[in-house]
Amino acid sequence: MRKFLMTAAAAALALGAASASAEAAMDKVKACWTYIGPIGDFGWSYQHHQGLEAVKKEFGDKVETVYVENVLEADSEKTFERLAREGCNLIFGTSFGYMEPMLKVAAKFPDVKFEHATGYKTAPNLGTYNAKFHEGRYVIGQIAAKVSKTGKAGYIVSVPIPEVISGINAFMLGAQSVNPDFKVEIIWINSWFDPGKEADAAKVLLSKGADIMVQHTDSTAPLQEAEKVGAQGFGQASDMIKFAPKAQLTAIVDDWAPHYIKSVKAVMDGTWTSGQYWGGMNDGEVAMAAYTNMPEDVAKMATETAEAIKTGKLHPFTGPITRQDGTVVGEAGKPLSDGDILGMNWYVKGIDDKLPQ
């Protein structure tokens, strides 16, 4: 039965049928968010909260919004259960670690819709959504290679999951398209938000000859360290120009608003279906902040690259790609499949680092 339902849902999705499900439209939707960090992190959770604000603005009093911040992964099941019991129609979980708790609670409340950011498990009432961050990483790779005087970037990363690894690879491929000898030094800090650790890592990288800071962690600390010593870098998840007015070249901005508005609308119309959504620059989910503190020709190149990615003319992972171990993947002129990118667990050639095992 469940299998049948999922097949039906998939078919509805494929046909783009507007209201395949028998669910009634709603006059008012209660949409609820859970954040892993504080909304004041000015990075990941902040951006999701901007999405909530956009939903409020779009639907006015037809929507009621609720959020819970600093929800610990280990302890999140009771939070999701409380939200479901308190009448939320649609619940967003914005951290990977919420996957198992959300699966459990979704099974208990079949009438409530759940959406989980960055996960890979789904259920009839639990969908996933994520963004193609690697598209932005390709653009900043090109900028880094153009702007850097030392030819070396420092890259602070959290956890070796595919999203992070594909980000490093896309950055490197972008950089190599400008300077084939570009170097990157990587520090894993095993945390998504730890300003102290991030600042320490930045200091080490800057003292070892990197003059560009790249981060896949959520605080503004690395960029602020770069600002202090006159180096440059890129904002993460959110436009961080306020924190580093001289250092920020641009930022990869996660704009969750379009997706959130779409999902709330679907629940309102009774057309919501479970699925796996992966939006990129083309969908407005990944955007570049203003190009600042760089020569005009570099800004022009970046604008053109971003435009090419948006229109689909350029794909960051276009084959053939040589991996670190020398093997080649991808067919010439064709992009890697989404599955290959979503499961990426190897480095491209030219990265002088070993993946943590």
**List of residues contacting other proteins (CB under 8 A):** 32, 66-70, 72-75, 77-79, 81-83, 85-86, 96-97, 100, 104, 120, 159-162, 165, 190, 343, 345, 356-357
Q: What are the C-alpha distances in Å from 67 to residues 17, 96, 112, 220, 331? A: 31, 17, 16, 23, 45
Q: Helices 162-176 & 133-147, crossing angle to 10 degrees?
A: 40
- Local structure of 291: helix, strand or coil: coil
Considering the complex, state which of residue 192 and residue 256 has its C-beta at the smaller distance from other proteins: 192
H-run or E-run covering 256: none
Considering the complex, state which of residue 62 and residue 78 has its C-beta at the smaller distance from other proteins: 78
Of 187, 191, 192, 218, the residue nearest 203 (C-alpha)? 187
* 309, burial (CB in 10 Å: exposed 0-12, middle 13-18, buried 19+): buried
Cα–Cα distance for residue pair 278/227, rounded to 1 Å: 33
Considering the complex, state which of residue 71 and residue 288 has its C-beta at the smaller distance from other proteins: 71
Considering the complex, state which of residue 165 and residue 281 has its C-beta at the smaller distance from other proteins: 165
- Give the shortest CB-304-to-other proteins separation in angstroms: 33
- Give the shortest CB-321-to-other proteins separation in angstroms: 19
Considering the complex, state which of residue 14 and residue 357 has its C-beta at the smaller distance from other proteins: 357
Query: What are the two backbone dihedrals, phi and then psi, of residue 143, each rounded to the nearest 5 degrees?
Result: -60, -45
- Give the shortest CB-162-to-other proteins separation in angstroms: 6
- Give the shortest CB-79-to-other proteins separation in angstroms: 6
Query: What are the two backbone dihedrals, phi and then psi, of residue 340, each rounded to the nearest 5 degrees?
Result: -60, -40
Considering the complex, state which of residue 104 and residue 313 has its C-beta at the smaller distance from other proteins: 104
